[in-house]
Amino acid sequence: MVLVFTHEDYGRHVTPPGHPERVERYSAVQAGLASVTGERRASPPGDVADLLHCHPAGYVERVRAAVPKAGWSGVDGDTFLSPGSWEAALRAVGGACAAVDAVVAEGGRAFVACRPPGHHAETATAMGFCFFGTVAIAAKRALDVHGLARVAVLDFDVHHGNGTQDLLWNEPRAMFVSSHQMPLYPGTGAADEAGAHGQIVNLPLRPGSGGAAMRAVWEPALAQVAAFQPELILISAGFDAHRDDPLGGLMWEVADFVWLTRAICNVADAVCGGRVVSCLEGGYDLAALTASVAAHVTELGRQPR
């Protein structure tokens, strides 16, 4: 049975009208989770100490100080803070860290239905709807708090996880693999971006390439993950590679997310006792997001096969 971490504060991060990362995404995710059998847990608020595993204190304070008392404040042209954003972002980190704590202690798998997303947030830069590197922070918690020797972070959002890459660039204990459409925002993620220790694997995909191309690059990449022998696998689960998503063009179907989720779980079953923590990133067509989340979390909860 998969653990599902969520909290109503995720619906209190409000963006301006017409923004794709909108409150309705929270409702769409909840609708997808309604069909999933799993144990629900409330995401706790994150600790600033967890943020400091990846971000400098001055940057964290700048984000907190930029939160408005009403309306919105823009960090850049597409990244906005509202009065509820600080609590939502802290609970995104808190949920991811609590999921790591639970899976390390209890085994199994977990999904964190969080927003705002995190994989574009660099060391001292908020961008791409993201403020803190949620999954990278969770990876560092697994390494530095729980003493794991190696973790793998796998990102299948349609956009490159430039923030996760930045935060883990010098971390030899963390393997990072990202598939993403190229060219597309943020313009990073070329195959030759390999990290300070060769532990980063980028899998750029052409627009319109579809599920067959995805499988062709992920199969050998997952063999590399297995060879790395992680003790925990974390997923940045973005569903904006879906054919209906307005921000991407990879043309994946729900079945492609199911295949990739199962393939990742198979590696986890083989090398780390099945331990997987998945955190929500993108996905901006509401119907596609609902269906994809339901399929992904259902697959996370299936018995090994």
| Continuous H helices in 151-209 | 162-168
What does the block give as tokens for 302?
């299936």
d(CA 280, CA 114): 6
Catalytic residue among 55, 120, 160, 180: 120
User: Which uninterrupted H or E stretch holds 79?
Assistant: strand 79-81
Contact 282, 239 (CB under 8 A): yes
d(CA 196, CA 187): 20
The residues, any chain, with a CB within 8 Å of residue 69's CB and separated by 6 or more, are 83
Task: Output phi, psi for 223, to 5 deg.
Answer: -65, -35
216: amino acid identity, one letter: A
Contact 128, 186 (CB under 8 A): yes
Residue 120 bears catalytic tag: yes
Residues with active-site annotation: 120
